[in-house]
Amino acid sequence: MKIAGKLLLILSVIISVLLLLNIATYLNYNNETYLFKMFNFDQEKNLPSIFSALILLTTSATLMYVSFQALSFQVSNVFWRSLSIIFLFLSFDELLRIHEKVGAFTASHIKGDGAFHYEWLIPYSVILLFLIFTYAKSIFALPTQVRNNMIISGILFVGGAVGFEMIGGMYIEKNALLTDGAVLNSTGVFLLYTIEETIEMLGVVYFIYTLFLCMETYKLRGLVKQEIPFFTTFRVTVDKIPTLLRKF
């Protein structure tokens, strides 16, 4: 099994374990326990949220790495590197809950309801539509396998992060779950955020798999399109060591 396949398997197993632990927090419900705080999908800065942030950061690093590789098809470096920056932001957003701060600011100007119960969805949806139109041409210029896999991963991620968040907001309003306690005790809300976080993580993992599969399939062996600055600096520094030693 190649690296792409191994990564997909390992990361999918981790998601499965986290999913089971999240279900355990509901079956043994007590939001004050260590189990709940550490493994529930709806809590902040616990193992599932840290894992999500790490795989988003891994995606960012992998995209940047791909931009320096010589591939058998032509796509602008800007495509890979700008996506890398977006995923870097998403990683910090996941860990620091930046979208919630954006939501609080948006709520002070626009009151959201229904699908936009969570006000952060308003500006993020506008940005999402802009990004879809901006990247559509480059995505459809990719080889069929890479393009299709990237679209699948995008549907999973956006479907979780945005789609199920909208459904969750509508469910909360429809069932008049107006307090944090009511939301936490709702089986429907638990199912919604569990599905949301699971497919969101699966989407990111499938994108990582797609990037590694892309390099395994389309990288021109022995060729590097452009040296990565850090490694270039490191190599030059190492090459100078014998000269420096001879001066002493």
Alpha carbon separation from 5 to 16, 54, 81, 95, 148 (Å, rounded): 16, 19, 24, 27, 17
Written as six digits, the tokens of 105 are 């600011």
pLDDT confidence tier of residue 1, bands split at 50, 70 and 90: low
- Identify each DSSP E strand in the chain by its residue range: 69-71, 219-224
The pLDDT assigned to 11 comes to: 97
Whether the pLDDT of residue 183 is over 80: the answer is: no
**152-171: per-residue pLDDT in tens?**
999 999 999 999 999 999 99
Mean pLDDT, rounded, for 4-13: 96
* Distance between CA atoms of residues 107 and 117, nearest Å: 10
**pLDDT tens across 189-226, in order?**
899 999 999 999 999 999 999 999 999 999 876 555 55
Is it the case that residue 182 has pLDDT exceeding 70? no
DSSP state of 33: S
Average pLDDT over residues 113-132: 94
Q: How far apart are CA 233 and CA 246, in angstroms?
A: 21
Q: What does residue 188 show for φ and ψ, rounded to 5 degrees?
A: -60, -45
The pLDDT-based confidence of 181 (bands split at 50, 70, 90) is: low
- 224 three-class SS: strand
For residue range 81-121, list pLDDT tens digits in order. 999 999 999 999 999 999 999 999 999 999 888 899 999 99
Give the single-character DSSP code of 69.
E
Query: What are the residues whose beta carbons fall under 8 Å from the beta carbon of 150, sequence distance 6 or more?
Result: 139, 142, 207, 210
Q: Which helix (H) or strand (E) holds 25?
A: helix 3-27
Place of tokens 């500006």: 123
- What's the pLDDT score for residue 165? 94
**DSSP H helical ranges for 28-117:** 34-39, 47-67, 77-96, 98-107
Task: List the structure tokens of 223.
Answer: 């060729």
- The answer on pLDDT for 179 being more than 80 is no
For the chain, percent of residues with pLDDT exceeding 70: 85
Distance CA 128, CA 130 (A): 5
Q: Is the pLDDT of residue 241 over 50?
A: no
